[in-house]
Amino acid sequence: MNTLKPQILLVEDTRDISLWLGTALRQGGMDVRFASDGLEADRWLQPGHGFDAVLLDLQLPGQDGLSVLQALRDRGDTVPVLILTARANVADRVLGLNMGADDYLPKPFDLSELEARLHALLRRPGRVRTPTMRLGPLCMDTETDTVHLHGQLLALTKREAAALRVLLGSPRRTVNKEQLHAEVFANEATGLDAVEVLVYRLRKKLEIAPGQPDALPGVMITTFRGMGYMLTLPTAAGR
Residue 220: the pLDDT is 87
Half-sphere exposure of 123 (CA within 13 A, CB side): 6
Residue 78: the pLDDT is 87
Residue 127: the pLDDT is 54
- CB atoms inside a 10 Å sphere around CB 101: 21
For domain 132-237, give the fold: Arc Repressor Mutant, subunit A (1.10.10)
- For residue 110, CA distances in Å to 21, 105, 115 come to 11, 10, 9
Equal fold, 7-122 vs 132-237: no
Residue 88: the pLDDT is 59
Spell out the domain ranges in the chain: 7-122, 132-237
Query: Of 3.40.640.10, 3.30.2320.50, 3.40.50.2300, 3.90.76.10, which CATH number belongs to 7-122?
Result: 3.40.50.2300
- pTM exceeds 0.85: no
pLDDT < 50 stretches in the chain = 1-3, 215, 217, 236-239
Alpha-carbon gap, residue 170 to 172, rounded angstroms: 6
